[in-house]
Amino acid sequence: MPNLQELWRPITNNFSPVKQVRVEDVERFFVDRNEADPVRSLIASWKLECQLSIGQPTPYTALLTGHIGSGKSSELLRLGYELANDFFAVWFDAEASLWTETTNHFDVILAMGVAVHAAAQRATLQPDPRLLETFIRSLAKLVRRFEDRKGYRLEAAQLLRQVFAVVLVTGALAAGGLPAALPAGAFLYGAEKVAKTARVELNVQDTHIRELSSLPNRAEVLGALNAIIADIEQKAQKPLLILVDGLDKVPPSRAELLFVKNDILAAPACALVYAAPIEFSYRSASERRPTDLFGAQRMLPNPAVHQRPPRGEGWKASRDPNEAGLSVMRKVAAKRIEANGRTTGEVITPMHWIYWHA
């Protein structure tokens, strides 16, 4: 008979709201909020939108917003898993790889290029290292020019160790050069998570963003990034999809700079989905909106466990349970409890079972 610590430690760890989402967690714990209703399912509708975008002149771009802890990371990873047969999908963790408090467009673009190259390396697609070097040199040259840093260099080998990414590969690609031992839907880590002191940062002043993003400069940097993208797409024999997680953690003013005041993050020549702050879901219609630059914006709500309260004089009235939201939360809890070889009946007390089955 386990003691209380032995019983609760693994269960509590499976409910941790702060730890980084792992691929194996998504495979074990993911719950689609509307899996029985494809029309309302975010994953189902998003998957269809991405598939329909293949071959179109403009790549698919979108933002995913929602409260911190609502499940955006899991949703992005699951989307990559669902699209693995259609895209070479790379999930890139900006929170682990960048200083989200100060990051700007060129930090994100740099880490993005390194992430997809590293992911392609791990998938044995043999991406051209010369294209990565050209891309990194183009950014270093801009930094030297506008920040007056003589002799400034960026080392590709060091950057490859500083960026955290995951690539979803499928059995269909195995014949094209991926390791034969990889099962369909296997995830490969493009780089290991690094210490906070080793995160990528060009340290370019925000006042230089407009100069750096002028047509000649952005053409050089984005052209070098797009060459990497084209090389990987040709070798993977499918379009590239980059899922950028973690940018929902940036401060509101920085989010405005990244997603509203400049279109650089929508410019790479591949499908892109970014996690973005929830503030974007509540902007006034009179203000410039992220959808002016990005093709779509989705909100991932927290499941409601009560019906909306009455309005007006009845706002103090008791609220009825929201069965759809409760059903989702029951599935979430059950999956995490059962992952440790327990049943909900062993962990949830009889008093709570009344509400659990209400």
The model's pLDDT over 320-340, given as tens digits with 9 standing for 90+, comes to 777 777 777 777 777 777 777
* Contact status, residue 108 vs residue 244, Cβ threshold 8 Å: yes
- How far apart are alpha carbons 263 and 157 in whole angstroms? 29
Of these ranges, 105-119, 174-188, 267-281, the one predicted with the greatest mean pLDDT is 105-119
- Give the residue, 53 or 168, on which the prediction is more confident: 53
* Contact status, residue 265 vs residue 258, Cβ threshold 8 Å: yes
pTM score, whole prediction: 0.80
Instruction: Calculate mean pLDDT across residues 4-8.
Output: 72
| Span of 48-57, 167-176, 262-271, 301-310 with lowest mean pLDDT | 167-176
- How far apart are alpha carbons 151 and 154 in whole angstroms? 10
Mean pLDDT for all residues in the chain = 77
Share of the chain above pLDDT 70, in %: 75
Instruction: Calculate mean pLDDT across residues 259-280.
Output: 88
- Give the residue, 111 or 167, on which the prediction is more confident: 111
Instruction: Calculate mean pLDDT across residues 143-151.
Output: 72
Answer yes or no: is pLDDT of 223 > 90.
yes
Q: What is the 3-state secondary structure (H, E, C) of the chain?
A: CCCHHHHHHHHHHHCCCCCCCCHHHHHHHCCCCCCCCCCCCHHHHHHHHHHHHCCCCCCCEEEEECCCCCCHHHHHHHHHHHCCCCCEEEEEEHHHHECCCCCCHHHHHHHHHHHHHHHHHHCCCCCCHHHHHHHHHHHHHHHHHHHCCCCCCCCHHHHHHHCCEEEEECHHHHCCCCCCCCCCCEEEECCCCCCHHHCECCCCCHHHHHHHCCHHHHHHHHHHHHHHHHHHHHHHCCCEEEEEECHHHCCHHHHHHHHCCCCHHHCCCCEEEEECCHHHHHCCCCCCCHHHCCCEEEECCCCCCECCCCCHHHHHCCCCECHHHHHHHHHHHHHHHHCCCCCHHHHCCHHHHHHHCC
Using alpha carbons, select from 89, 87, 86 the residue that is nearest to residue 26. 89
**Pairing assessment for the beta strands 61-65 and 296-299 based on DSSP bridges:** parallel
Instruction: Calculate mean pLDDT across residues 11-17.
Output: 72
- Give the residue, 324 or 357, on which the prediction is more confident: 324
**In this predicted structure, what is the pLDDT of residue 38?**
65
Instruction: Calculate mean pLDDT across residues 301-326.
Output: 72
**In this predicted structure, what is the pLDDT of residue 234?**
95
**In this predicted structure, what is the pLDDT of residue 197?**
46
**In this predicted structure, what is the pLDDT of residue 97?**
87
Instruction: Calculate mean pLDDT across residues 35-48.
Output: 78
Reported confidence tier of residue 77, pLDDT bands at 50, 70, 90: confident
Domain ranges for the chain: 40-299
**In this predicted structure, what is the pLDDT of residue 18?**
62
**In this predicted structure, what is the pLDDT of residue 178?**
38
**In this predicted structure, what is the pLDDT of residue 268?**
94
- Give the residue, 197 or 136, on which the prediction is more confident: 136
- Give the residue, 181 or 239, on which the prediction is more confident: 239
Share of the chain above pLDDT 90, in %: 22
Of these ranges, 19-23, 99-103, 191-195, the one predicted with the greatest mean pLDDT is 99-103
